[in-house]
Amino acid sequence: MLLLSLGTGTNSEFYETYTAEEAAKWAIFRWMSVIQKMTNAASSYMTDYYLSTTFQALDSQNNYLRVQENALTVSTTAMDNATEANMKLLVQVGENLLKKQNSKEDPETNEEALKR
């Protein structure tokens, strides 16, 4: 049995860094936007961490696979962008994810992991 965890993807905007000086000038809506992004990402990362750790503790790490793209553009991740061009781009992203290395420690690709 394989538990396949598919992420919806994140954009590189989430990986911004902020200084205290910048944050001190934010209005409430900017704070809400940043907190929402952090909360959504934290939920995803923590779920992956807990599942990965649990499967490792049960000596079943090969039964869990997380597939997630973290470098999408803002327009690509927009939920209302159903243009033909964006759909083709998302298909390409999915195909590239199959060829991507599963993890830093594991040289196996996602495609190879799905076939085992």
- pLDDT given at position 65: 93
Could you list the residue range(s) of the whole structural domain that residue 27 is in? Answer: 3-115
What is the average pLDDT value for the chain, to the nearest integer? 87
> What is the pLDDT confidence band of residue 64, given thresholds at 50, 70 and 90?
very high
Contact call for residues 110 and 65 (beta carbons, < 8 A):
yes
Phi, then psi, of 80 in degrees rounded to 5? -100, 10
| Segments of 1-116 assigned E as strands | 3-6, 64-67
Q: Give the mean model confidence (pLDDT) for residues 90-108.
A: 88
Lowest mean pLDDT among 11-15, 17-21, 91-95: 11-15
Answer positive or negative: Cα dihedral of 15, 16, 19, 20. negative
Query: Number of structural domains, the chain?
Result: 1
Determine how many CB atoms are found less than 10 A away from the CB of residue 64.
20
Rounded mean pLDDT of 23-49?
89
Provide mean pLDDT across the span 78-95. Answer: 90
